[in-house]
């Protein structure tokens, strides 16, 4: 990938970074009197917030980011890894909704690379020929599994696993070390969570191993064995390229997830001063998604009357 081709995109992103939420903005949002006040602050920062439909407004913000990328990045396909998980989420929604006689379009999220109507069409007719190669086999497998078992668990596992592996595969194609590092972390994070949950719920080893995705630098067999005890898991991770997770796994699930989210935001710091290449674009995407996630948390917290202290604990890393 020619880094110089990203000069225009990176400059546009730098200009947009002035609209990112700062620590002071987050303080104002957290201490805001209610949803209306939160919406006002976000509108001042250039967000389009409709209080009647906050979820949709926040989704539009994510679409705006992708729209910016499509208009400025030289080859958008190279950073598709960022939104590939949305396609698999939509596939899950399509299968579940179709089998439940519901309208799947209500559950689709965007931005995505596969047209949701194509997914609806494919799932409703049990004909996946028109779907792109990266999702076709998974869609068939997940659909058949759902039809055979009349339950969503195995089907979901198939889709989640394929989502992570496909995103990692796309990240590797992108030649961006940052994207590869993020996707690898997401894979190992998912495997650790799967191992801990399966062991806690008494699932068989075969079931757990089947649910693991392929993760570079991780021996899934050893991961499963070590996950029976958090100290062993920590010891095993210290021998892998993910040794930075060794302390985080000793705590609770939420603490572990927070650590991973913060670690990803930390990885994006290295792109702050780059003048070209895909990394500033990728960083901006994660930072914006983090902002949207934080905005969703704050809106929800205000609706449920949480105190500023409680909200502060839930709000994740700030870039600016």
The CB-of-69 to other proteins minimum distance in angstroms stands at 12
> Binding segment for other proteins among 14-22, 50-58, 99-107, 247-255 (CB under 8 A)?
14-22
CB 197 within 8 A of CB 279: no
What is the closest distance, in whole angstroms, from the C-beta atom of residue 238 to other proteins in the complex?
38
Our finding on whether 275 is near other proteins (CB under 8 A) is yes
Footprint of other proteins on 110-169 (CB under 8 A): none
Only one of the segments 56-64, 183-191, 211-219, 272-280 lies at the binding site for other proteins (rule: CB under 8 A); that segment is: 272-280
Query: Taking contact as CB under 8 A, which single stretch among the options 2-10, 96-104, 123-131, 177-185 is the one that binds other proteins?
Result: 2-10
Q: Which is nearer to other proteins, 2 or 254 (CB)?
A: 2
Q: 11 or 306: whose CB is closer to other proteins?
A: 11
Q: Which residue has the tokens 């929604």?
A: 93
d(CA 241, CA 121): 42
- Which x/- pattern, by CB under 8 A, does the window 48-77 give for other proteins? ------------------------x-----
CB of 272 to other proteins, least distance (A): 10
The single residue among 4, 110, 127, 254 that binds other proteins, judged by CB under 8 A, is 4
Q: How far is the CB of 91 from other proteins (least distance, A)?
A: 35
Q: Both tokens of residue 41? A: 């602050």
Considering only 7, 220, 234, 300, the residue that binds other proteins (CB under 8 A) is 7
- In the complex, least distance from residue 205 CB atom to other proteins, rounded to whole angstroms: 51
- 8 versus 244: smaller Cβ distance to other proteins: 8
- The token duo for 248 is 């985080």
Under the binding rule (CB under 8 A), the answer on residue 100 touching other proteins is no
Task: Give the number of other CB atoms < 10 A from CB of residue 38.
Answer: 23
* Only segment of 16-24, 194-202, 215-223, 225-233 that touches other proteins (CB under 8 A): 16-24
Contact between 17 and other proteins by CB under 8 A: the answer reads yes
Q: Which DSSP string corresponds to the chain? A: --GGGGHHHHHHHHHHHTTS--HHHHHHHHH-SSHHHHHHHHHHTT----GGGHHHHHHHHHHHHHHHHHHH-S-GGGGGGGTHHHHHHHHHHHHHHHHTT--GGGT--SS-SS-HHHHHHHHHTT--TTS-HHHHHHHHHHHHHHHHHSSSHHHHHHHHHHHHHHHHHHHHHHT-HHHHHHHHHHHHHHHHHHHHHHHHHT--HHHHHHHPPP-TT--HHHHHHHTTSHHHHHHHHHTSTTGGGTTGGGS-HHHHHHHHHHHHHHHHGGGTT--SSSHHHHHHHHHHHHHHHHHHHHHHHHHTT--HHHHHHH------
Q: Which is nearer to other proteins, 71 or 175 (CB)?
A: 71
Tell whether residue 79 is a contact of other proteins (CB under 8 A): no
Residues binding other proteins: number (CB under 8 A): 17
Nearer to other proteins, 60 or 72 (CB): 72
Question: What is the nearest approach in angstroms of other proteins to the Cβ of residue 5?
Answer: 9
Q: Give the span between the Cα atoms of 96 and 147, in whole angstroms.
A: 10
Tokens 């030289």, residue located: 74
Q: How far apart are CA 33 and CA 51, in angstroms?
A: 15
Site membership for other proteins, residue 281 (CB under 8 A)? no
Chain residues that interact with other proteins, rule: CB under 8 A: 4, 7-18, 72, 273, 275-276
């Amino acid at each position: 990938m020619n880094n110089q081709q990203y000069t225009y995109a990176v400059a546009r992103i730098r200009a947009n970074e002035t609209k990112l939420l700062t620590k002071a903005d987050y303080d104002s949002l957290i201490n805001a009197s209610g949803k209306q006040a939160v919406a006002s602050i976000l509108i001042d920062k250039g967000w389009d917030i409709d209080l009647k439909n906050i979820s949709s407004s926040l989704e539009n913000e994510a679409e705006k980011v992708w729209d910016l990328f499509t208009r400025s990045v030289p080859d958008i396909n190279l950073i598709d890894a960022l939104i590939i998980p949305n396609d698999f989420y939509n596939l899950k929604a399509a299968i579940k909704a179709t089998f439940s006689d519901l309208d799947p379009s209500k559950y689709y999220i965007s931005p995505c690379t596969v047209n949701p109507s194509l997914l609806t069409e494919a799932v409703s007719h049990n004909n996946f020929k028109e779907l792109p190669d990266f999702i076709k086999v998974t869609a068939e497998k997940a659909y058949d599994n759902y039809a055979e078992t009349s339950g969503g668990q195995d089907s979901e596992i198939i889709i989640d696993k394929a989502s992570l592996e496909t995103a990692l595969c796309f990240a590797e194609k992108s030649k961006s070390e940052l994207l590869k590092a993020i996707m690898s972390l997401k894979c190992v994070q998912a495997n650790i969570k799967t191992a801990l949950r399966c062991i806690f719920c008494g699932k068989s080893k075969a079931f757990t191993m089947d649910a693991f995705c392929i993760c570079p630098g991780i021996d899934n067999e050893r991961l499963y064995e070590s996950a029976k005890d958090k100290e062993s898991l920590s010891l095993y991770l210290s021998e892998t390229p993910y040794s930075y997770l060794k302390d985080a796994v000793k705590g609770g699930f939420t603490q572990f997830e927070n650590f991973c989210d913060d670690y990803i935001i930390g990885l994006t710091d290295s792109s702050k001063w780059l003048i070209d290449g895909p990394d500033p674009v990728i960083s901006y995407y994660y930072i914006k998604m983090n902002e949207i996630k934080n905005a969703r948390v704050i809106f929800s917290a205000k609706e449920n009357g949480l105190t500023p202290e409680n909200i502060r604990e839930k709000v994740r890393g700030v870039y600016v």
